[in-house]
Structure 1
Amino acid sequence: MTDEQTRLGQLREEIDSLDQRIMDLISARARCAQEVAHVKMDANPEQDVFFYRPEREAQVLRRIKEQNPGPLSSEEMARLFREIMSACLALEKPMHIAFLGPVGTFTQAAALKHFGHSVVSVPLPAIDAVFREVESGAAHYGVVPVENSTEGMINHTLDMFMSSPLKICGEVQLRIHHHLLVSPKHQDHEITRIYSHQQSFAQCRQWLDTHRYGIERVTVSSNAEAARRAAEEPGTAAIAGDMAAELYGLDVLANSIEDRPDNTTRFLIIGREDVQESGHDKSSILVSMRNKPGALYQLLEPFHRHGISLTRIETRPSPSGTWAYVFYIDFEGHMDDEQVKKVLAEVDDEAVELKRLGSYPIGVL
């Protein structure tokens, strides 16, 4: 046996030993998670116990990233622990997560990134259907898109918060890579039609004008639907992501065709309960102001005076009347923070209505 073979044999034995230790530790962690669930149920025998705690998981993932010794990246290490936590949580009660479907969309990818692959994914045809599924209790949480770095806010999502009692419980950002996909069965056919969602067409407009000018662009309800059609129809292609390509067995004709390399979509996690402080939080509110001079200044001035950083402000037409508006505001901090309480008290005094949409951990992954 050569020195190389001897050394490789030793290393493989060490890997086998480490794998056994890792398996033992994961099993011990799973048993501990089960015990936590039993303690919660024993303490609240008549209540619907929430085993998933967004603030606790955010704290764990932040600590993993901060203490990661390498050589794996902090992001990769956190993703591994995300899946371990997902599997441990599913031992007691797998969560049902509603998302804007169908299967294979970027929203499903965001849901799996945030909750891990041990949840039950529930695809729904529209954003309002996701809200209804969570409101009814049929799903534990929902995942809906709220803004894209290229195309801006998803107004339908913002408008749903005006009437829904649901809370924002978390956020997740997903880098969006669009690919031009074709079926391997139809590669010999000339492409005469491209299917995609209207947002994807907008995010790939320059590339399409340069490389596929004159080809018919057909808008469909989702990128997954576009991929399904491209898989069935000769002479067609789809703009979609990796999940849709894998699901429908499509080949990548051109990858990452989005116009902006930093193209990112932010998704919100919606649920029925308030989230406790995690130490690095964001809050969202809806505010309806009286229509008078200086109304916007009166709304924003308390945030400046108390040193609260705004991360987003959007204006939406109010359903209550013509030329009335509602402001959607994201800001850093938790609503239980003393400074935030002071700001919201001042805003409430001047506003027609102040709706607290929730405080939640700033996205870790």
Structure 2
Amino acid sequence: MSDSSINLDELRQRIDQLDGDILRLISERAACAQKVAHVKLAHDKDAVFYRPEREAQVLRRIMSLNEGPLDSEEMARLFREIMSACLALEQPIKVAYLGPEGTFTQQAALKHFGESAISLPMAAIDEVFREVEAGAVNYGVVPVENSTEGVVNHTLDTFMDSSIHICGEVVLRIHHHLLISDTTRRDKISRIYSHPQSFGQCRKWLDAHYPHAERVPVSSNAEAAKLVKTEWHSAAIAGDMAAKLYGLERVADKIEDRPDNSTRFLIIGSHQVPMAGEDKTSIVVAMRNQPGALHDLLEPFHRHKIDLTRIETRPSRTGVWNYVFFIDFKGHVDEPRVAAVLDEVRLRASELRVLGSYPQGVL
């Protein structure tokens, strides 16, 4: 035998040995997770098993320790799945998301909670909120903003009437594909289905390639994929998950107008989240209708050097031409300087509500 074949055999034996070590260590970790569950239940029968701040700390630690050759995000995704499977031994997480099955929101839910979570589709954003409020699920996942099309107003408006907390965030790179079924006649496509946001994110490509096709907005990209299965002259704009789920063929890949097209999703739940070390806070503020109100609102953040990451304005439901401000900033409400800023803002605002402090998205 040649030296190369001997070396290859040795390398394969080493891989087999490492696989055995990995298997043993994962099983040991899973057994330890089971012991954690028993300890928690012994002290509290209503114990909370999933801790967003703890998971974020673990994933950041893994990324900081990683030396390659796998990149840090890929390594963190592997550990996310290990943690998801271990958590399912304690108690499977139930997560409601904006459905139907195959949407980007489901993809975001699985990215954040792992494949071992039980994901349940809801027909509307407010239904996701209601399921969480009723305790039927542990968490919900809803879209809040897209890098191309901006804020998802329905999500912000639903927070105004809800006591739900924001527990986390996840950012998903959005790739849109033009999809057809096996019965579609490519040269006769005259109708394209998709969510209104997706049409906005692919506007230039559609104008260039299908300027005369009818654009029919539907409730989700997954719904668009389902409709294409029943028609011979239509296509859908949707992502990988919907294409695989409904057995559709790609006519064109990555047709979004901006290559960095991303959507941010919020994780909502009924519990407040302790500090994780790298946190964000979301608040909603109603200001008195007077000159300089916006300056009065933002000045304390500037003075205390708190980094604002987003500010949105929405019409108030208490009167015509009154507005509320949704603000995201870095930091946690339990930090002294954040608490000091919020105390100042309360004195200047007619109403302030903290929607949640939560770990900044790791993946």
| TM-score in terms of structure 1 length | 0.98
State how far apart, in whole Å, the 2-side matches of 1:189 and 1:2 are.
Answer: 56
Task: Give the aligned residue type for 2:31.
Answer: R
> What does residue range 69-218 of structure 1 map to in structure 2 within 5 Å?
69-187=67-185, 190-218=188-216
Partner of 1:329: helix, strand, or coil? strand
Is the aligned partner of 1:34 residue 2:57?
A: no
State how far apart, in whole Å, the 2-side matches of 1:44 and 1:94 are.
Answer: 18
Displacement of 1:106 in angstroms is 0.3
State how far apart, in whole Å, the 1-side matches of 2:116 and 2:272 are.
Answer: 23
Task: Give the aligned residue type for 1:297.
Answer: H
State whether residues 195 and 236 of structure 1, in contact with CA within 8 Å, keep that contact through their aligned partners in structure 2: yes
Task: Give the aligned residue type for 1:214.
Answer: H
Task: Give the aligned residue type for 1:358.
Answer: G
Match of 1:336 in 2: 334
State how far apart, in whole Å, the 2-side matches of 1:166 and 1:322 are.
Answer: 26
Match of 1:23 in 2: 23
Displacement of 1:161 in angstroms is 0.8
Displacement of 1:4 in angstroms is 2.8
Displacement of 1:231 in angstroms is 2.1
Q: Superposition RMSD on alpha carbons, in Å? A: 1.0
Displacement of 1:253 in angstroms is 0.6
C-alpha distance after superposition, 1:52-75 (max 9, x if no partner):
000000001111111101000101
State how far apart, in whole Å, the 1-side matches of 2:76 and 2:295 are.
Answer: 41
State how far apart, in whole Å, the 2-side matches of 1:319 and 1:79 are.
Answer: 41
State how far apart, in whole Å, the 2-side matches of 1:188 and 1:340 are.
Answer: 57
Match of 2:9 in 1: 9
Partner of 1:171: helix, strand, or coil? strand
Match of 1:56 in 2: 54
- More displaced 10-residue stretch of structure 1: 215-224 or 168-177: 215-224
Task: Give the aligned residue type for 1:33.
Answer: A
Query: For structure 1, which runs of at least 5 residues remain unmatched after alignment?
Result: none
C-alpha distance after superposition, 1:71-114 (max 9, x if no partner):
00101000000000000000011011000000000000000000
Match of 2:228 in 1: 230
State how far apart, in whole Å, the 2-side matches of 1:19 and 1:219 are.
Answer: 49
Match of 1:294 in 2: 292
Displacement of 1:188 in angstroms is 5.5
C-alpha distance after superposition, 1:140-163 (max 9, x if no partner):
000000000011100110011111
Identity among equivalent pairs (%): 66
CA 311–188 in structure 1, closer or farther in 2 if over 3 Å, else same: closer
Displacement of 1:187 in angstroms is 4.6
- How many residues end up aligned between the 2 structures? 363
Match of 2:350 in 1: 352
State how far apart, in whole Å, the 2-side matches of 1:219 and 1:295 are.
Answer: 38
State how far apart, in whole Å, the 2-side matches of 1:9 and 1:126 are.
Answer: 55
State how far apart, in whole Å, the 1-side matches of 2:214 and 2:162 are.
Answer: 39
Displacement of 1:189 in angstroms is 5.7
CA 93–196 in structure 1, closer or farther in 2 if over 3 Å, else same: same
Displacement of 1:183 in angstroms is 1.2
State how far apart, in whole Å, the 2-side matches of 1:143 and 1:124 are.
Answer: 10
Displacement of 1:18 in angstroms is 0.6
State whether residues 189 and 234 of structure 1, in contact with CA within 8 Å, keep that contact through their aligned partners in structure 2: no
